[in-house]
Amino acid sequence: MHSFTYHGDDLYCEDVPLHVIASEIGTPFYLYSRKTLEDHFRVFDGAFERIPHLTCYSVKANSNLGVLKVFADLGAGVDVVSGGEIFRAVTAGISPQKIVYSGVGKSRQELEYALNTDILMFNVESSQELELLGAVAQSAGRKARIALRINPDIDPKTHPYISTGLKKNKFGIKIEEALQAYTRAVTTTHFEIAGVACHIGSQITEVSPFVDTLRRVKQFVQKLSTQGIRIEYLDLGGGLGITYEDEQPPHPSEYADAIIREMDGLPCTLILEPGRVIVGNAGILVTKVLYTKQTDEKKFVVVDAAMNDLVRPSLYEAYHDIQPVAKRQGPQVTADIVGPICETGDFIARQREVPEFVSGDCIAVMSAGAYGFSMSSNYNSRPRVPEVLVDNTRYFVVRRRESYEDLVRLETVPEEL
Ligand SMILES: *Cc1c(COP(=O)(O)O)cnc(C)c1O
C-alpha cells in the first residue's frame, strides 16, 4: 500500500507528478507521501487496538520534523536513541510522556536532558549506565522511570549489521545480570521500575523471532513478579521488515495477532517501536541522469545522487527498486546506477534491467523513506538534498537543499594559522 503510482507514463506521488517537483526544485530530493505515512501508522497501531499498547515510532528511521509532526497528530509516541532525537521529537509536538529512550552509549548530558524533559522511560543497556542514571537522577532530585533492555539471544535472521539481539551483539543486558540489576534498582529511591525492553534487529521478515523473544521476555517478567517487582510496560522493540525486492514480510496484522496471542493476558502495556515498516515505503529518492557510459564490461548510468545521500546499497548491499519518472518505450538494458562520489562502493543499484536512460532522465529510487535521509552525510562536500512532503495535490519542502555556505557554516580558520 503506497502512493507512488503511474498515471499514463508519469510517476506521481499522491496527486502530484514527480516531474513537476523535479523541475521546480531540482534534483536530487527525497519525497514522502503524507497519506502513506498516515496509512502505515494507522494500520500498524490499529492491529494492536485490542490490547493496551503504545506505538512508539522509531525516530532514527526518518527524523524529519514534518514527518514527525504527521505522527504527533496521530497521537504517536516515539523511540529515540539520542538527545538530538528527543529535541526533534519534542519540537515536532510529540508528548514527552510518550518518549522511550534506547541506546548503548547515552552520555551524562543526554541523560540529564532526557530526565529534565520528563520522558516516559529510559531503556537502560548496561549496569554502568544504570549507575550513572541513578547519580544523575539523584542530583537532579528527580525519579527516572527505567526499563532494562535485555538481550534475549535470538537470531532475527537478517543482515548481520542490523542484528541486535544476539549474545555477541553490543546491545542490552543478559537476562541473569538484568535480574540482579532490577533487584538493586528497586531499592533505590530515584528509580521507578517501569518496564522491560528488548529489540532484536531490523528488516525481519518472519514472525517467529518476535514470538520467541516475547516468550523469553514474558518469562522474565513473570520471574520479576515472583520477586515482587511489577512491570507496567513490556517494550518489544521494532524490526518488522518491508518489501524492497521480493521479500514477503508478515502483514502488521499477522505480526500483531501472533504477538497478542503470546502476550496471553499478561497485565502489561505493550510498547512497539516500528521504524522501517512505517516510513520505508512511504518515501523515495528522486535523482537525475547526468551521463551514461559504456565500458568493455558494463553499462553505467551516472546519476546526481550518491552514497552520501543514500548509503544503504553501499553499506548493506541493500536493494532499491529503480523506476523511471517518465516511462519510455524501447528496449531494456542491464546497467549499474552509480553516483559521482570517488569510491567504487558508490552505487545505488547494480546489474539491473532498466530502460535505456539518457542524460536528463529522472529516476525514482524506491523504498527510500527509512534510513535514507537520516543516514545521509556531506561526504565529498556534497550539500544534503531537500526533503519534500506531498499532501494530496500539494507539496511542501520540509527541509531545504543545503547550500555551499551551509557546508562551511560551522568551520573557522584561526587567525594564527
Ligand atoms: C532502530 C531501532 C528500532 C527501529 O527498527 P526498525 O527496524 O526500523 O523497525 C526500534 N527500536 C530500537 C531500540 C532501535 O534501535
Residue pair 113/98 in contact (Cβ under 8 Å)? The answer is no
Up-side HSE of residue 247: CA atoms within 13 Å toward CB?
21
Q: Among the atoms of ligand 1, which is closest to the Cα of residue 203?
A: 7
Q: Given the CA of residue 241, which atom of ligand 1 is nearest to it?
A: 7
- Which of 121, 273, 375 has the most ligand 1 atoms within 8 A of CB, as the residue to mutate? 273
Euclidean distance between CA atoms 30 and 233, whole angstroms? 35
> Which position has the higher pLDDT, 158 or 63?
63
Q: Average pLDDT in the 143-167 region?
A: 87
Mean pLDDT of 364-385: 98
Q: Please state, in angstroms and rounded to a whole number, the distance separating the CA atoms of residues 212 and 204.
A: 13
pLDDT digits (tens, 9 = 90+) for 205-245: 999 999 999 999 999 999 999 999 999 999 999 999 999 99
Distance (Å, whole) CA 275 – CA 227? 34
What average pLDDT does this structure show over 3-29? Answer: 97
The residue behind cell 520505508 is 280
Share of the chain above pLDDT 70, in %: 100
Confidence (pLDDT) at 33: 98
Residues 6+ apart with CB under 8 A from 295: none
Look at 132 and 171; give whichever has higher pLDDT.
Answer: 132
User: Does any ligand 1 atom lie closer than 6 A to the CB of residue 33?
Assistant: no
Cell of 97: 510522556
Query: What mean pLDDT is predicted for residues 398-414?
Result: 97
Placement of cell 543478559 in the chain? 174
Q: Is the CB of 199 under 6 A from ligand 1?
A: yes
Answer yes or no: is the C-beta of 152 below 6 A from any ligand 1 atom: no
Contact 32, 390 (CB under 8 A): yes
Looking at the predicted structure, is the pLDDT value of residue 5 above 80?
A: yes
Q: Compute, in angstroms, the gap from residue 329 CA to the centroid of ligand 1.
A: 41
pLDDT at residue 155 in the model: 85
Strands 144-151 and 173-174: what pairing? parallel
**Cβ of 40 below 6 Å from ligand 1:** no
Closest C-alpha to ligand 1, atom 10: 238
Residue 1 has pLDDT above 70, yes or no: no
Closest ligand 1 atom to Cα of 277: 9
Give the range with max mean pLDDT: 144-148, 188-192, 263-267: 144-148
Ligand 1 centre from 308 Cα, in Å? 21
165 lines ligand 1 (CB under 6 A): no
Supply the mean pLDDT for the chain: 96
149 lines ligand 1 (CB under 6 A): no
pLDDT value at residue 168: 79
Expressed in angstroms and rounded, the spacing between residue 237 Cα and the centre of ligand 1 is 6
Cβ of 237 below 6 Å from ligand 1:
yes
| 8 A C-beta contact, residue 218 and residue 259 | no
Q: What is the pLDDT of residues 64-110, one digit of tens each?
A: 999 999 999 999 999 999 999 999 999 999 999 999 999 999 999 99
Query: How many of the other CB atoms lie within 10 Å of CB of 212?
Result: 18
- In the set 13, 198, 342, 362, the catalytic residue is 342
202 in contact with ligand 1, CB cutoff 6 A: yes
236 close to ligand 1 (CB < 6 Angstrom): no
pLDDT of 160 reads 80
Residue 377 confidence (pLDDT): 98
Best residue among 71, 79, 206, 374 to mutate for probing ligand 1's pocket (most ligand atoms within 8 Å of CB) is: 79
* 240 CA → ligand 1 middle, Å: 9
% the chain with pLDDT above 90: 91
- Cβ 85 under 6 angstroms from ligand 1: no
For residues 31 and 394, what is the distance between their CA atoms, to the nearest angstrom? 12
Over residues 239-264, the pLDDT tens digits come to 999 999 999 999 999 999 999 999 99
Answer yes or no: is the C-beta of 204 below 6 A from any ligand 1 atom.
no
Whether 56 is catalytic: no
In ligand 1, the atom with minimum distance to the C-alpha of 370 is 8
Q: How far is the CA of 56 from the centre of ligand 1 (A)?
A: 10
Using the CB atoms, write b or e for 163-200: b if 16+ within 10 Å.
bbbbeeeebbbebeebbebbeebeebebbebbbbbbbb
408 CB neighbour count, 10 Å cutoff: 11
- CA–centroid distance, 373 to ligand 1, in Å, is 16
The predicted model gives 376-394 an average pLDDT of 98
Mean pLDDT confidence for 120-143: 96
Cα–Cα distance for residue pair 58/79, rounded to 1 Å: 5
Sketch out the chain's domains with CATH numbers: 4-32+280-407 (2.40.37.10), 34-279 (3.20.20.10)
- Distance of alpha carbon 379 from alpha carbon 389, whole angstroms: 25
- Ligand 1: which of 67, 123, 202 to mutate, most ligand atoms within 8 Å of CB? 202
- Sign of the four-CA dihedral 318, 319, 324, 328: positive
239 CA from centroid of ligand 1 (Å): 6
pLDDT at 331 over 80: yes
Mean pLDDT score, 358-385:
98
- Determine the distance separating the centroid of ligand 1 and the alpha carbon of 211, expressed in angstroms: 17
